[in-house]
């Protein structure tokens, strides 16, 4: 698989960048539809691979944002276009989001469920059965109160290096339930019940690769950093 070869080539060349978390990396293969298990969490110590579904940005869907197909690419670096950013990222620290507090949906759910446990944030709203009905799931025990996202640092200059300042982070999401995967505002978003495992593995320094072959111009720039990637053995 090209995406795997490219990720391993980058990880080997820039190993020092990921010394905070040398064990894990994740590849999101956006050549696949959102109905597929298209992210791979790879344990570089044991070889174990965990597959998960993952959302892409709503404006990366041409036409309807519910098509599930990553079929258009926007020049999004430095602007808030709600598009998925291509390329390599370093996964950083967990944090408590402070966004989403003024939206109509947020206000509606406050009226129904009351304010979320940790105040005004993307905090979770759950029904009486414990199902997340809106917001981002908290990471829970072992993490600081209210933490529900992970910051990401884009590593490809001119392609994704402004993603962090644009608010691109990893998180779980209420709209990813069961087999249905919604669309994010440009963030890689996971099923609410799986996000804790993602955070446990990737936080504090792992490599994340957003593989977006539809973004041909961006991919060409990205691959200049690993010119010999085709010689890497795939898994």
Domain containing residue 148: 2-72+83-227
Q: In what order do the strands lie in the sheet with 87-95?
A: 49-52, 39-43, 24-29, 207-211, 87-95, 149-154, 169-172, 189-190
Distance separating alpha carbons of residues 65 and 51, to the nearest angstrom: 23
Residue 233 lies in a domain: no
The vertex-223 CA angle with 204 and 38, nearest 5°, equals: 60
In a domain, 235, yes or no: no
Pairing of strands 24-29, 207-211: parallel
Q: Is residue 209 part of a domain?
A: yes
Report CA 221 to chain centroid distance, whole Å: 21
Residue 110 and residue 122 in contact, taking contact as beta carbons nearer than 8 Å: no
Tokens of 49: 């691979």
What is the predicted pLDDT for the residue at 142? 96
Report pLDDT for 83. Answer: 84
Q: What is the CATH number of the domain that holds 136?
A: 2.40.440.10
> What is the reported pLDDT for 43?
98
Per-residue model confidence (pLDDT) at position 177: 86
The pLDDT value given to residue 1:
87
Distance separating alpha carbons of residues 47 and 199, to the nearest angstrom: 19
Shortest CA distance to 213 belongs to which of 56, 64, 91, 67? 56
Residue 97 lies in a domain: yes
> Which residues is 134 bridged to in the sheet?
125
The enclosing H or E element of 10 equals helix 2-13
Contact 204, 92 (CB under 8 A): yes
| 202 in any annotated domain | yes
161 domain-assigned: yes
Q: Which of 75, 84, 81 is nearest to 221 (CA)?
A: 75
- How many domains does the structure of the chain reveal? 1
Asked whether residue 103 is assigned to any structural domain, the reply reads: yes
Within 13 A of 138's CA, how many CA atoms are on the CB side?
Answer: 17
Residues 6+ apart with CB under 8 A from 143: 94, 199
Per-residue pLDDT tens listing for the chain (235 residues): 899 999 999 999 999 999 999 999 999 999 998 889 999 999 999 999 999 999 988 777 765 555 677 777 766 665 667 788 999 999 999 999 988 888 899 999 999 999 999 988 899 999 999 999 999 999 999 999 999 999 999 999 999 999 999 899 999 999 998 777 888 888 999 999 999 999 999 999 999 999 999 899 999 999 999 999 998 875 5
Global confidence as pTM: 0.93
- Asked if the structure places residue 207 within a domain, the reply is yes
Cβ atoms of 116 and 124 within 8 Å: the answer is yes
């Amino acid at each position: 698989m090209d995406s795997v070869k490219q990720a391993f080539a980058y990880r080997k060349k820039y190993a020092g960048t990921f010394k905070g978390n040398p064990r894990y990396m994740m590849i999101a293969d956006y050549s696949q539809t959102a109905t597929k298990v298209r992210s791979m969490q790879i344990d570089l110590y044991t070889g174990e691979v965990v597959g998960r579904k993952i959302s892409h940005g709503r404006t990366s869907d041409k036409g309807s944002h519910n098509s599930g197909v990553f079929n258009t690419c926007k020049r999004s670096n430095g602007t808030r276009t709600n598009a998925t950013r291509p390329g390599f990222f370093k996964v950083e620290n967990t944090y408590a989001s402070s966004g989403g507090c003024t939206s109509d949906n947020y206000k509606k759910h406050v009226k129904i469920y009351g304010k979320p446990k940790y105040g005004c944030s993307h905090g979770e709203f759950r029904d009486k059965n414990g199902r997340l009905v809106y917001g981002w799931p908290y990471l829970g025990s072992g993490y600081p109160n209210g933490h529900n996202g992970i910051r990401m640092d884009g590593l490809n200059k001119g392609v994704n290096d402004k993603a962090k300042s644009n608010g691109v982070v990893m998180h779980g999401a209420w709209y990813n339930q069961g087999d249905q995967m919604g669309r994010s505002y440009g963030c890689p978003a996971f099923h609410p019940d799986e996000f804790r495992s993602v955070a446990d593995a990737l936080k504090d320094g792992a490599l994340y690769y957003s593989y977006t072959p539809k973004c041909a111009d961006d991919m060409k720039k990205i691959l200049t950093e690993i010119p010999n990637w085709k010689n890497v053995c795939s898994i």
